[in-house]
Structure 1
Amino acid sequence: MADVAMASATIEQEPTTTKINVYAMDRYVIREANTRQELDQILDVIWAANYFPFEPFVQLFFPVLGYTPAHRDAAIAESKERFWIQHQADSSSHWYYAFDTTTGKTVGSAQWVVSQSNPFTAGVPKLKAPWWPEGECRKFCESIINQVYRPRASWMTRPHCALNWLAVHPAHRLRGIGYLLMNVGILRADDLNLECWMEASAMGKPLYEKHSFQSLFKLDFDNERSNATDEWRRCAHEMTPPPIFAMWRPQRGMWTTQNGQEVKMPWELGTA
């Protein structure tokens, strides 16, 4: 993260709501998305960020089912509709974006999920990927995303905050935007005295460590399958993401107790 001059600012919300004090650069303002237009602009940032450099994980959530610009446009339109429907249906979902006051553009985004009760009372969910057509690619995608999500659903059976997405437009990286978007969730979590969780890429890991997250383990994906079809093997070759890191931040980022003892790990804390 580049060194930047920071000035006091606020998170702007539209319509007017309670403002939260944060640190922001004069040029960028953090806002919470409340409209379809705002979320569409957030998706544009996510697409741009994950194709420069190319992040294999993006294929799982945003398949381009063809090779022409029209196929890509259709994939972008489908993802925008899907994310808006999901966001509207989930009261714990909070999308924030960095607004560039110079250009009037959205240049960064983050989704923080704030669960004030146990979101996994029904146990570990079996995630589906209906945005893929029926077939081996869908089954492969579902295999990967369920491997990603299983530790969270197994151990975070208490109120907590989770970072699902964080993206910064390639033209605006190394300007402190990721730091601002992280602060939004951290401030909310500390205000509610909640733990935080995320599944992180190697590229994002240093930023998260600056916010008191630590890696619990590194997850390498199992893409082996007995009697695998040619289509499955192609998916495994083209779509298996690099290993990710399961990262956790205890309440208020305190890794030791007042008595100097190490805090209990997520799997030791049980259900609340």
Structure 2
Amino acid sequence: MAAKYVVREMKSKGEMDAIMDVIWAANYDPYDTYAQLFFPVLGYTASAREAAIAESKDRFWENHNSTPTSNWFYVEDTTNGRVVGCAQWEIHTQNPFKAGAPTLRAPWWPEGEYRDFCEEIIRQVYTPRTHWMRRPHLALNWMAVLPAYRGKDIGSLLMSIGTSRADALGVECWMEASGMGKKLYEKHGFRSLFKMQFDMERKDASDVWRKCMHELTPTPVYPMWRPKHGIWELEGDSIQFPWERGAA
């Protein structure tokens, strides 16, 4: 009997558009502040939302094609051909931070304090990765499942694609997880290193910055790590991480 849910690798713009529809739906049910950070709707009308969706589809397709490490996968419901879940795994076969931490920009926002605010959030999220993942690894950047398909192991299919490739390469895995996804990731060998809360206080903050703090500050995230082959080694009573041992 054919499997009801099949994982496929994204190859076309049409597939990317369907993936983005999943991400938009997933991030609004329940609503996640990251939706507005990465996909700002610059207005209050249906046409403003449609323009934001179209912009995000073009942006993510362009970003994928200009990023050699980008690999998008999606789950198809074979009974109706619908894309019901998606994930982006970056595959790094060497240190991606040889030149240091990248400068992260958010050009999808107009210039000004909203863009500055978004860029500071991204910088804080990304900093632990740039410090600790200076070895070959896989990184999970995006994961989304349509609300109606949650609880059907769609997420596990997408996780297995990444962890199986990591194991074949003999490398570690990394992600920055939401609280909602944390339990799923733990089932696949990840553990959280700490809880990251965002510090967006600014001396003499403007009204715009304070509005951003109120409306756009995300809930805490959890940097999570999975060792090679998901095998956690203990030295004494504690876990010893590669960066603590000075491993290359």
> Could you say which TM-score interval applies, normalised by the shorter chain?
over 0.9
Change beyond 3 A, Cα 1:218–1:73: same
Q: CA deviation at 1:270?
A: 4.6
Distance 2:223 2:12 in 1: 31
Aligned pair 1:47/2:24, yes or no? Answer: yes
Describe how 1:40-119 pairs up with structure 2 within 5 A.
40-119=17-96
* One-letter amino acid of the structure 2 residue matched with residue 140 of structure 1: F
Aligned pair 1:139/2:116, yes or no? Answer: yes
Aligned pair 1:268/2:244, yes or no? Answer: yes
Q: CA deviation at 1:159?
A: 0.5
Report the TM-score when normalising by structure 1: 0.88
Residues 157, 270 of structure 1: 8 Å contact kept:
no
1:228 corresponding residue in structure 2: 205
Looking at secondary structure, tell me which structure has more helix per residue: 2
Residues 144, 221 of structure 1: 8 Å contact kept:
yes
Residues 158, 271 of structure 1: 8 Å contact kept:
no
Residues 199, 245 of structure 1: 8 Å contact kept:
yes
Count of aligned pairs: 248
Residues 159, 194 of structure 1: 8 Å contact kept:
yes
Change beyond 3 A, Cα 1:262–1:45: same
Report the TM-score when normalising by structure 2: 0.96
Unmatched runs of 5 consecutive residues or more in structure 2? none
Q: CA deviation at 1:264?
A: 3.1
Q: CA deviation at 1:263?
A: 5.3
Q: Deviations over 1:11-36 (max 9, x none)?
A: xxxxxxxxxxxxxxx21000000111
1:120 corresponding residue in structure 2: 97
Distance 2:241 2:94 in 1: 19
Q: Percent identity?
A: 59
Aligned pair 1:28/2:5, yes or no? Answer: yes
Q: SS of 1:147's equivalent?
A: helix
Q: Which runs of 4+ in 1 moved over 6 A?
A: none
Distance 1:45 1:267 in 2: 36
The structure 2 residue matched to 1:207, chosen from 176, 184, 189, is 184
Aligned pair 1:195/2:157, yes or no? Answer: no
RMSD (CA atoms): 1.6
Distance 2:83 2:36 in 1: 23
* One-letter amino acid of the structure 1 residue matched with residue 51 of structure 2: A
Q: CA deviation at 1:197?
A: 0.2
Distance 1:170 1:47 in 2: 11
* One-letter amino acid of the structure 2 residue matched with residue 224 of structure 1: E
* One-letter amino acid of the structure 1 residue matched with residue 73 of structure 2: Y
Change beyond 3 A, Cα 1:260–1:96: farther
Q: CA deviation at 1:91?
A: 1.3
* One-letter amino acid of the structure 1 residue matched with residue 197 of structure 2: D
Distance 2:4 2:146 in 1: 15
* One-letter amino acid of the structure 2 residue matched with residue 234 of structure 1: K
Q: CA deviation at 1:50?
A: 0.3
Q: SS of 2:7's equivalent?
A: strand
Residues 75, 84 of structure 2: 8 Å contact kept:
yes
Q: CA deviation at 1:59?
A: 1.0
